[in-house]
Amino acid sequence: MARFSIKRYLPRSLYGRAALILLVPIVTIQLVVSFAFIQRLYEDVTAQMTQNISVELRLLLDIVEDAPTLEAAQKEVRQTAEALDMDVTFPGGSVQERQRFSDLSGRAIRETLAQQFAGLRAVDLVTQDKAVQARLETSKGDLEVSFSRRRVAVSNPHQLLVLMLFTAVLMTVISYLFLRNQLRPIRRLARAAEAFGKGRNEPYYPGGASEVRSAGAAFLNMRARIERQIEQRTLMLSGVSHDLRTPLTRLKLGLSMQPETEDTKDLIGDVDEMERLIEAFLDFAKADALEELERADPVALVQDLVANAQRAGKAVTWVGDVPDALSMKVRPLSVHRAVENLINNAVRYGTRAQVSVTVLEKALRISVEDNGPGIPEARREQAVKAFSRLDASRNQNAGSGVGLGLAIAADVARSHGGTLRLGDSEGMGGLKAELVLPR
């Protein structure tokens, strides 16, 4: 049996929950006060005022009963009723029981009169506007009495309810304005954090309450530390790469001047491999740290990569429809490097590769599939880690690679606020790598 959870019905945003915290007490107070108001004013006060007028009605009944004849009763009861500001009809029988369902005070009037007079035949609260008509049984016939509704019910009782409603609306508007001002700094902090996660630096200055200011200052310190670490990593590896190139160049020049033998060829190949490793280190180090975001068409960029691979003799094909031109804020060189690594890995471990681009509502998905051995699901998380190499059937870079091909692609995806997903290719049977970039 499924468990009931109230969380699914609660607002998910901080603004919605804060508004709920403000509105629930206001609505609760309104309901409690309204109930007490109706209970006390519409029932208790109305019953008390009806009891007061019952004394006058009993006087009229006594006059009728004490009169010796019907004519004397008619004369005396009309004179007394006129003095009491009432209209009487005696004998009468036209008053019928009538009452609106929503008339709360009328219900109290009817119940009180029934308690006071056993001979109450009917009470009409509908026929005459703002008047009460009652038919009472006497020994000489039914006595019909009509008097003003104001004598048994409070006039204009809705004014208090209207005032309460107006006050509640006013306080809700004031609370909304105050709440919006308090949440604005939190939204600014969220936008700045989201932008930084996508590789953009939005201007941000802490503001709002002291707790929000503390969180904003902590975010700025964290952002500065991350930027310094990226810069130091880039400078360090750039310096190491630069320092290694010089002796490698001298070594390569010296080997080229030696007699051409199998040993010198192998040594020159080793030097070339070392240069490629240095380039791979440098690509991973700088990734997108030195490149600014700019408007570009990633669809055209992927098309160029596929065309270049085909000119190089690689079995790379485009599958599916080509989306229309799309303008996105990306780092073109970084995306170019990431997709190129995915394509190179695909043709390196398989004989064929397929590339497709799908434009989603809030993201762009670039898929590269191959017919190679793929990567087991249990090892895919390890596959995207830097310097991580899998078994001989499939590692990040062929030969003596250092495990940076997928790591660079994953790093580029994360710097744009996206992700790199690895899965199985249903059509080709190998690996399916999806580079997802937010729009």
- Sole residue written with tokens 């005032």: 163
Taking CA atoms, 182 is separated from 22, 190, 195, 213, in Å, by 14, 14, 21, 11
Q: Is the pLDDT of residue 238 over 80?
A: no
Phi-psi region of 130 (alpha: psi -120 to 50; beta: other; left: phi over 0): left
Whole-angstrom CA distances from 256 to 74, 161, 251, 260, 267 are 142, 99, 9, 8, 10
Residue 195 lies in a domain: no
Tell me the two tokens of residue 87: 């209209």
Say if 254 falls within a structural domain: no
> CATH no. for residue 361?
3.30.565.10
Q: What is the pLDDT of residue 227?
A: 79
Q: Which two tokens stand for residue 236?
A: 């360090």
Domain containing 100 — which CATH number?
A: 3.30.450.300
Domain boundary among 155, 181, 197: 155
Whether 103 and 77 have beta carbons less than 8 Å apart is answered as no
Residues 373, 429 contacting (CB under 8 angstroms): no
Identify which has the larger pLDDT, 23 or 142.
142
Domains of the chain: total = 2
Highest mean pLDDT among 146-155, 243-252, 428-437: 428-437
Identify any residues that bridge with 370 across adjacent strands, giving them in sequence order.
Answer: 353
Supply the pLDDT for residue 232. 75
Model's pTM, two decimal places? 0.52
In a domain, 217, yes or no: no
Report whether pLDDT(156) > 70.
Answer: no
Pairing between strand 316-318 and 353-359? parallel
What string of DSSP letters covers 358-396?
EE-SSEEEEEEEESS----GGGHHHHTSTT----TTS-S
Residue 355 in any domain: the answer is yes
Tokens of 113: 């009169």
Please state, as a whole number, how many other Cβ atoms lie within 10 Å of the Cβ of residue 365.
Answer: 15
Degrees, nearest 5: CA angle 118-80-138: 30
Q: What is the mean pLDDT of residues 231-242?
A: 72
pLDDT confidence bin for 389, thresholds 50/70/90: low
- The boundaries of the domain holding residue 434 are 291-438
Q: Which of 97, 123, 155 is the last residue in one of the domains? A: 155
pLDDT the model gives residue 398: 45
DSSP string, 97-119: -B--TT-HHHHHHHHHHHHH-TT
The answer to whether residue 263 scores a pLDDT higher than 50 is: yes
Residues 172-193 have pLDDT tens digits of 788 778 877 888 888 888 888 8
The C-alpha angle with vertex 8 and arms to 7 and 9, in degrees rounded to 5, equals 90
C-alpha 178/C-alpha 172 separation (Å) is 10
Within a domain: residue 58? Answer: yes
The string of pLDDT tens digits covering residues 86-118 is 988 888 778 788 888 777 778 888 888 888 888
Let me know if residue 251 belongs to a domain.
Answer: no
Does a structural domain hold residue 299? Answer: yes
Q: Is the pLDDT of residue 395 over 80?
A: no
Structure tokens at 62: 């006594």
Q: Tell me: pLDDT of 393 over 60.
A: no
pLDDT of residue 159: 66
Name the CA dihedral angle for 231, 237, 241, 242, rounded to a multiple of 10 degrees. 40
Helix, strand or coil for residue 436? strand
**pLDDT tens string 269-315:** 788 777 777 776 666 665 555 567 788 888 899 999 999 888 888 88
pLDDT reported for residue 403: 60
Answer with the one of 113, 130, 155 that is the final residue of a domain. Answer: 155
Output the CA–CA distances (angstroms, integers) from residue 277 to 258, 290, 397, in the order listed. 24, 20, 10
Percentage of the residues of the chain whose pLDDT score is greater than 70: 87
345 class by beta-carbon count within 10 Å (0-12 exposed, 13-18 middle, 19+ buried): buried
What is residue 38's predicted lDDT score, i.e. its pLDDT?
65
